[in-house]
């Protein structure tokens, strides 16, 4: 299956289990893999036959910067659901949300959640 990749989009969000995270906010990185058939767009060279990258970015920005969740898992789940609901051409999505320097004991560069979801019609 073909895919469109969005690599290391950076956002400022207010997600976390600790009050300080919800108040001060922090950086989050999001990677997306959108699985869909790109052959029609490849032949037609028309935007309406594919996914508008700007629209996907804006949807991602809305979820990460405007909504608040305690868990990064919830951010990833919401993002996957919103994109699949909004873009029926996408058959499957892989979402990776990375939280750099999480406030947990020990030295961690980052933690990340990665989920893969399919359109409801493909879950049969």
The domain of 72 spans: 2-122
pLDDT of residue 33 exceeding 60, the answer is yes
What is the band of 101 on the pLDDT scale with cuts at 50, 70, 90?
confident
Q: What is the DSSP letter of 86?
A: H
Provide the number of structural domains found in the chain: 1
pLDDT of residue 21 exceeding 90, the answer is no
- Told to judge if 99 belongs to the known catalytic residues of this protein, a careful annotator would answer yes
Q: Label each residue of 40-85 as H, E or C.
A: HHHHHCCHHHCCCHHHHHHHHHHHHHHCCCCCHHHHHHHHHHHHHH
Q: What are phi and psi of 111, to 5 degrees?
A: -125, 150
Q: How confident is the model over 51-85, as pLDDT tens digits?
A: 999 999 999 999 999 999 999 999 999 999 999 99
Q: What is the pLDDT of residue 121?
A: 74
Q: Among residues 23, 40, 68, 99, which one is catalytic?
A: 99
**CATH number of residue 86's parent domain:** 3.30.1130.10
Q: Residue range 99-122: average pLDDT?
A: 85
Nearest-10 Cα torsion for 70, 19, 111, 106: -140
């Amino acid at each position: 299956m073909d895919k469109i990749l969005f690599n290391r989009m950076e956002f400022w969000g207010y997600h976390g289990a600790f009050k300080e995270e919800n108040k001060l906010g922090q950086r989050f990185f999001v990677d997306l893999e959108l699985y869909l058939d790109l052959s029609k767009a490849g032949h037609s060279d028309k935007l309406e036959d594919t996914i508008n990258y700007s629209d996907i970015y804006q949807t991602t920005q809305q979820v990460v910067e405007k909504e608040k969740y305690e868990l990064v898992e919830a951010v990833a789940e919401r993002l996957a659901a919103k994109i699949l609901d909004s873009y029926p051409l996408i058959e499957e999505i892989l979402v990776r949300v990375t939280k750099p320097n999480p406030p947990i004991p020990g030295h961690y560069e980052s933690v990340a959640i990665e989920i893969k979801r399919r359109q409801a019609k493909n879950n049969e």
